[in-house]
Each structure stands twice: as structure tokens, then as C-alpha cells.
Amino acid sequence: MKHTFQMNLDWTGGRNDVGTLEAERLKTQISIPPEMDGPGIGTNPDEMLLGAAATCYIITLAAMLGRSELPHRGITIDAEGMVDVTNGVFTYEMIRYTTRINVPTDATDRDITLVERIAKKAKDGCMISRALAGNVTFELDTTVIRVD
């Protein structure tokens, strides 16, 4: 089975102008971010790549925890993307996830070890991570916390 996703983009003008992006469930303006001397209106490719990777990771992580019958009480991720600019060449180098997974208070030490293993597996196994493999480095810092 194959899935097709479509997006329409429109751009009129030069480097520091603003375009639009529209997909079935997403509509936004796009421009170059202010960090790269752009107008910073709407989103940009750097944020969108980070968003694609991070949403793929969190959904994959939740699905894998569910399949493993390891209950959680919420997952939060702070995602950070690093772009290098050398001699005018932009390279997306690294994505770092700081992940917090809340588990029930009755989770065993073995459960926590398994949750940590699954977090790493989800990072490496999600579709976007696999697509970027060899081009972008991924780092993961996972904290598992017992909560009521």
C-alpha cells in the first residue's frame, strides 16, 4: 500500500518575500527565518523539517509503547534542530530530542528500562529519521518519571 500526500506552494518575488503553503490539513505562510536574514513570517523549511521529524518520533514512540502494552501518562519532547552555514552553504546537521515520558507510579524498574529502550528504537525507526539517516545526526536524552 502506498500513500500520496500533496501540497501546493506559491511564491511571488525574491529571497525576502513571503509565500504560502497549503496542504489538506495545513495552511500557512512561508519565508526565510530571521536567523538567516529573512523576514521570519510564517514557518520555514528548517522548522518544518524539525516538526516532521519530531511529530514522526512522538507518534512512533506512542505507538510502540502501546504495542508493548507499556502504559504512559504523557510524553513531552523538546526538539532542537542545528543548521550549519559555512561559506554560504546551509546544512541541516543535527536534531536533538529531550524526551520526558511519564509512567504510572507502579511501573517497575524493568518497565522503565524497556520504555527507555523503546524511546531509542522509536527515534531510529520512525520514517523521517530513516529518510534523513546519513545526512542528519540524531541525539536523544530521555527521562522517564513515575507520576500519579
pTM of the shown model: 0.93
Do the beta carbons of residue 97 and residue 122 sit within 8 Å? Answer: no
Q: How many Cα atoms are found within 13 Å in the side-chain-facing hemisphere of 70? A: 26
Give the dihedral of Cα atoms 90, 91, 96, 97; nearest 10 deg. 80
AA identity, residue 105: T
pLDDT at residue number 2: 96
Nearest to 65 by CA among 125, 115, 12: 115
- The edge-to-edge listing of strands for the beta sheet with 7-11 is 7-11, 19-23, 26-30
CA distances from 65 to 62, 115, 127, 130, 146 (A): 5, 7, 17, 19, 15
pLDDT at residue number 52: 98
pLDDT at residue number 58: 98
Quick one: DSSP state of residue 27?
E
Nearest to 7 by CA among 32, 24, 29, 30: 24
Per-residue pLDDT tens listing for the chain (148 residues): 999 999 999 999 999 999 999 999 999 999 999 999 999 999 999 999 999 999 999 999 999 999 999 989 999 999 999 999 999 899 999 999 999 999 999 999 999 999 999 999 999 999 999 999 999 999 999 999 999 9
pLDDT at residue number 5: 95
